[in-house]
Structure 1
């Protein structure tokens, strides 16, 4: 064993340059994993501390015990409380203070007239709680609001909006409210919680603008007297609370808030980064495997001599694996340091791009250290296992003969096995994506089989592709191009293994490109199919973090002489036959004027106060038809029987349930519209009509007024942002792939040192040698890029189809973006060959010819 260790370390010292690519691949992959874990631990600890500080003075919270959650609102909607119970609560023994907490959606307008936040994290408004221990916000500057129209704004929102104390601006609640900023506040010691904004009003203003009725509150916060525990306080409060109202500890509420952030947002955030870390490590596996495969092939005579001198197979195997473990261990240790640096960089980067996370020192847990280290060593050792086994099987007699690095032919059995896998994978993918019962899992299994088929068929496909692509190169570059083609064909297995890393990176990029383009096309088709208006007035809704639109806006717009119809569409929630559902609240009789409704059975005009319109798909799932009775329970606890008055084909803007405003009004909380659909009078030009609507909407916070095309484009705006993030994350995988190509070329050139010297001695110039190496790199990259485009495009189509259970998605193949991906892949291959080409051209001719 000691001899194997000495041999391994001697080999590493002598041939350390051979493992540079492996070291870089492991370093980058481990850095990304470690950075993600450290960042997740840091954010989770920072949020926990922030929420803990904010809720430190609240010992109990009194709130409604009924909550309705929907797919678009996992936190749920609760019924407001009657503040008449406040006096009873204050008289409970052990209560030191109790204050109503009014909370709703309120979006502040920046100094330039644009809304602050609203794209994701919530924009909140509420009352400024006078008791400083119960108030989660702390005054940092200025004073608390005393009179109607005064407000306190959290410092983060003020900075993003260019606002300061003394400024007057508009608060959307969703109706426009003019407020004067008299103070700036922090939350739990921080200027703001990410992109969340908060506007604190007087209690009367908050109840007026955020509650459905005066004397209502979202909850009541209670502080205990010294010596009274939280559980003891809750137990004392329960007897005085009316039915439907509960008391919970402040610690439980803080944990719920922490879970909302840590359990949902942070889990999604870190999972996304870990997925891309996994992709980067998968790419690294092929680069590492290829490096060790070449090194073992080049050391065939060396291993044979060791075997002839008495080394056992176990010793040769152990020596090769030891090299892999040492490289993995050193690279992983460096990757841990790099990961901590990445986490620190992200912590500084997010505030710079407008998404400030809570301050706090980096938190480095044991798992964040041990897991990346173990993954790096395991990936490196696992990737080297097959080459190590191959090295241990080297016969002693191989030392007596010349051996080629690798066999140039592809076994027929491998080609047959790859073809079988490809057929099975294609069939499973198509069946899962386009079969009668679509299945994402079956599609995923087919995709895995196709990836395996690409790996098995790689050498045969590489040989065919390089021959095809090499012909024009040979005609263009003559002997130099022909030599590049022959070098790439010398070992199809090596060429395929080198290109596989790039192929995976390009395939994932292509898959996301196709999927994102299809999502955008689907949204465009949805708007075109669903929306019949001329312009749409929109603002981020509650579910998207914004305040929505005032229900009074539609009637104001409709008074413009250029407008024929202006209809607001709002959102509500209720339990429909026990399940939380989202309702579209509007004037049903006028809905067909602005939306393309097909397959209508029954009448929208007859909904009244006890009627529902339901999509045909939802009705089929529940066995309903016109005249069926449906039970709805609202957040106020009221249960009401409704009658299905109309059915319609699925319309994305109308949703699955439509209810009239008169039926919703008794149960509403904070009323708002998410969209106002507008049609123009006959003869009004689009420009004149849009200008008239914009002028009418200006006093309501200047919401966006968009044509049908602009509305569709803005609805898909978040997809481009997501795609940009995906490209940035996948750049790491492509970089690792390029390191693999460069390292493989360097090792291959070392193997061909004598051949290169002979070429130079018979007249090949340095420029021709550099060109030959670059063209070889280009052919390898072209094969990987082409394979990645084909695989990614096909799997993108399959993912779009498999995820579309309703059959409404539109598949779109973006040729321009895919052409850019192809160009980047090929240029990247060319760049990867630059350094090996320069090193090859600098070889001393006489030493190269004499090399063994």
Structure 2
């Protein structure tokens, strides 16, 4: 039977090619998304990770005692300490560092990778005895030697079109700086190579910017070979001032960093993996459909084997061997193709403003296991089910007809299973309509409900095919005999029609559901941002840990046409077990720049020890006007009592909590600073006014000047970026759907060779045959699209309630234009998929076709 299976694989090369193509595409889709998920996650981790390889200990300054200001007295990391550490036995090398952050402007004045401020590194170029810093080999120019000089890494120079000799505008925090670029370096720092930037200054300049004159931010020690780590740590601790410095092992730093990076990049890991699950489903479903049709087509061949003495077990074993051989070959091809998909996705899904971090492909065990599981496991399973069914048919009965319609009992069982799944999925989704938030439990229930709904649609599709196609049956009939025959072909075998349409149905449901949720959420965020803002412009630092130039508020207020420039200090409020964002405001000017809808209390009573909270905070912590809450602002402060003087509807500008600006500034991470300016002008918003405001901020790369329209667009930006990524990944699913329909139609044409020959013999021309096949494909595509749109919109309606519980402005807003375009593209997909099978059918010779068995 193994030899029989091998001959069957090689005997029908066209059938083999289509089958291998189906499995290859399924494997490529799954492996590509898995490799992309792991590679993207690794690139994001690299962009936020420092390499601690080879570092035995790192000496860092301790926080000064309470009440003592941070300064040179609080930082003991100076040149004499470096010399003491270098003289210790067991220390092979000492590398002092001055680390900070700097955001650069490109040659055209735009911020260079400003959206990744956490990866915009800066520091000191610390030369060794040979006059070079081994961490940063020079590739052009020279090292910085004066306060007005800097060097940048090779990648940043290329991305910003910077050349040696250019004057570069940058900001470390606050005022804008201008330095002359004197050199370009290379670096192995993964934070830079994965999409960040690097700016290096001479040691004295870096110390003034990021530490204090004569002091470093850290000192890395490498150990001599054979040195006991514990003994080295003891010797280092002995020379350190215990109240001013501490030593941490490289292993401990790496472990802590791994935890922090995992928290930072968790979202980047989850999203592609969720889609990989969808890829696994779509790819597996395509393979199952292909092999179900393939084995069904070979019913007569299987019956012949039974008639000449093969047992049922031998027949099934033969088919399984054939499936395993095909699956193994296609798995290898699909895995290679999947690597190509994973390589292409970062470039396709990156934008100029938010590029995905670049890094090498990470090929773990999961993509390999998935390739074998989908390519071999799913293929064998897909062949096993129909082969058992075909082997049970009596040889004489199977030789009479190649088609074995399902029995009434099987149809009833399928209908019952489909209805049970439908009721379970719909019931779970409907139960979420009263949800108050998008908690993890609610999200899991929503995903489970959607999965049950999709399974129900697949189970019920063969039973729905007849009624739905008959409902629109008049349209194909108007295309003449070919149209009527196309409709009857689609109705003749509902299982085949449903199998052909199911992949397209699933893809359409996913895209339609995402489009409805995304559009509704985006509009809600737009309304929320627009309704909450009275100011014409918002000037803000790019990161919450940065601050505006202290002189910027005065310069902005002096810009002609500016009526009000209200400063806002942003910080963090720690209360109970939660962390909230707090905005420090001046109640006297608040109403001029921000629209707040208070459900109780007012903003007028905000002051020291008195705060206002958003609806969400009030609901989650059980607060109301008059409530007392223990909290602290920023780090290192003691918890104290605050009184809630008002509750307002969620407002993205006000954030979670409103407090008095003086109190927030005093206790925040950056004492005395402001992070935002809300600007009200006398005239209309114009580019000229925006340009004057940018000039007032010194064109700092750390600062953004946004008008109302830009702020509203930014409110839905995260949703738009998420949808763009999902649409890009789902585009691969659309390609799978297209080729799946091609595959199914090609097999359908091969099944109906004699039928097409008879039609040609009685007078149907080639154009009529092509029309019949194309109309059949469009009919099947329309059926899948209709079910997909219905399922996707129902799921979006139910899941959207989670967003409605979190956003008071949320209402269901289907993007009718997008949905219409989706329906049109689905029909075009069906028409394109029919091109090759229709041409093949029309090329059949009538006499040869009739003579085939």
TM-score, scaled to structure 1: 0.87
Which residue does the alignment assign to 1:499? 501
Q: Distance between the aligned counterparts of 1:604 and 1:18, measured in 2?
A: 74
Report deviation, 1:227.
6.4
- Aligned with 1:122: secondary structure? helix
Q: Is 2:105 the counterpart of 1:109?
A: yes
Q: Larger deviation: 746-755 or 40-49?
A: 40-49
Q: Residue 677 of structure 2 aligns to a residue in which SS?
A: strand
* Aligned residue pairs, count: 829
Question: Does residue 145 of structure 1 match 2:144?
Answer: yes
Report if aligned partners of 2:425, 2:448 keep a CA contact under 8 Å in 1. yes
> Measured at CA, do residues 748 and 812 of structure 1 come closer, stay the same or move farther in structure 2, by a change above 3 Å?
same
Deviations 1:93-125 (A, max 9, x none): 456776765544421111111000122462535
Structure 2 counterparts to residues 307-346 of structure 1, below 5 A: 307-342=306-341
The reply on whether 1:831 has 2:827 as its aligned counterpart is: no
Q: CA deviation at 1:737?
A: 1.8
Secondary structure of the corresponding residue to residue 186 of structure 2 = strand
Please say which of residues 614-623 and 522-531 is displaced more in the overlay: 614-623
| Structure 1: distance between partners of 2:118 and 2:393 | 65
1:550/1:700 contact within 8 Å kept: no
CA contact (8 A) 1:82 1:217 kept: no
User: Would you say 1:526 and 2:528 are equivalent positions?
Assistant: yes
State yes or no: 1:431 paired with 2:431: yes
Residue aligned with 1:567, SS: strand
Q: CA contact under 8 A between 1:286 and 1:498: conserved in structure 2? A: no
What residue is the counterpart of 2:481 in the other structure? 479
Per the TM alignment, residue 490 of structure 1 is displaced from its structure 2 partner at its CA by: 0.7
Pairing of 1:461-472 with structure 2 (within 5 A): 461-472=464-475
Alpha-carbon distance change, 777 to 66 in structure 1, aligned in 2, over 3 angstroms: farther
Question: How far apart are residue 333 of structure 1 and its match?
Answer: 1.6
1:765-844 equivalence runs, <5 A = 765-803=765-803, 805-808=805-808, 809-844=810-845
| TM-superposition CA deviations, 1:70-114 (whole Å, max 9, x none) | xxxxxxxxx999653225854464567767655444211111110
Distance 1:43 1:684 in 2: 43
Larger mean Cα displacement after TM superposition, 342-351 or 793-802:
342-351
Instruction: Give the 3-state SS of the residue equivalent to 2:643 in structure 1.
Output: strand
Match of 1:638 in 2: 637
Distance 1:231 1:646, change over 3 A: farther
Worse-matched range after superposition: 274-283 or 307-316? 274-283
CA distance in structure 2 between the partners assigned to 1:347 and 1:394 by the alignment: 51
Secondary structure of 2:405's match? coil
C-alpha change, 1:193 and 1:575, in structure 2 (3 Å) is farther
Q: Give 1:335 deviation, angstroms.
A: 1.8
Give the secondary structure class of the aligned counterpart of 1:192. Answer: helix
Matches within 5 A, 1:187-336: 187-188=187-188, 192-202=192-202, 205-206=205-206, 208-210=208-210, 219-222=218-221, 228=227, 230-238=229-237, 240-242=240-242, 246-254=246-254, 256-257=256-257, 265=265, 269=268, 272-336=271-335
Match of 1:29 in 2: 26
What are the within-5 Å matches in structure 2 for residues 3-152 of structure 1? 4-35=1-32, 55-56=52-53, 58-63=55-60, 83-86=74-77, 89-90=81-82, 91=84, 93=88, 101-120=97-116, 122-130=118-126, 137-152=136-151
Partner SS for 1:85 = coil
Give the aligned partner of residue 67 of structure 2: none
Alignment pair present for 1:510 and 2:512 = yes
Task: Name the structure 2 match of 1:591.
Answer: 590
Say if 2:437 and 2:803, in contact at 8 Å, map to a contact too.
no
TM-score by length of 2: 0.87
Contact preservation (8 Å) 1:59, 1:250: yes
1:22 touches 1:287 (CA, 8 Å); kept in 2? no
* Separation (CA, whole Å) in 2 of partners of 1:694 and 1:196: 24
Separation in 2 of the partners of 1:537 and 1:604? 22
Q: How many Å apart are 1:688 and its aligned residue?
A: 6.9
**What CA deviation, in whole Å up to 9, does each residue of 1:610-645 have, x standing for no partner?**
44433344245445553625231643x232525235
Between the aligned partners of 1:202 and 1:640, the Cα distance in structure 2 is 42
Aligned-partner SS, 2:374: helix
Moved more, 370-379 or 618-627: 618-627
Mark the runs of 5 or more structure 1 residues left unpaired by the alignment. Answer: 68-78
Q: Greater CA deviation, 570-579 or 588-597?
A: 570-579
Structure 1 window deviating more from structure 2 (823-832 vs 104-113): it is 104-113
Give the conservation status (yes or no) of the 8 Å contact 2:422–2:456: yes
Match of 1:71 in 2: none
Give the structure 1 partner of residue 711 of structure 2. Answer: 711
- After superposition, where does 1:349-748 map in structure 2 within 5 Å? 368-399=367-398, 401-407=400-406, 411-435=411-435, 439-475=442-478, 477-538=479-540, 540-542=542-544, 549-573=548-572, 575-577=574-576, 579-599=578-598, 604=603, 607-608=606-607, 610-624=609-623, 625-626=625-626, 628-632=628-632, 634-635=634-635, 637-644=636-643, 646-649=645-648, 650-670=650-670, 674-681=675-682, 690=690, 692-697=692-697, 699-701=699-701, 703-748=703-748
Shift of 1:760: 0.9
Corresponding residue SS for 1:187: coil
Instruction: State the distance in 1 between where 2:619 and 2:723 align.
Output: 36
What are structure 2's unaligned runs of at least 5 residues? Answer: 65-69
Give the Cα–Cα distance (whole angstroms) in 1 for the partners of residues 474 and 549 of structure 2. 67
Aligned-pair distance for 1:575?
A: 3.4
Contact 1:19 1:291 in 2 (8 A): no
Distance 2:346 2:750 in 1: 43
Distance in 1 separating the partners of 2:350 and 2:518: 27
* Farther-moved stretch of structure 1 (411-420 vs 784-793): 411-420
Provide closer, same or farther for how the CA distance between residues 356 and 715 of structure 1 changes in structure 2, counting only shifts above 3 A: closer
Distance 2:647 2:421 in 1: 45
For the 8 Å contact 1:55–1:136, the answer to whether it is kept is no
Contact preservation (8 Å) 1:40, 1:270? yes
Structure 1 pair 835/137, CA: closer, same or farther in 2 (3 Å)? same
Could you tell me how far 1:181 is from its partner in structure 2? 2.0
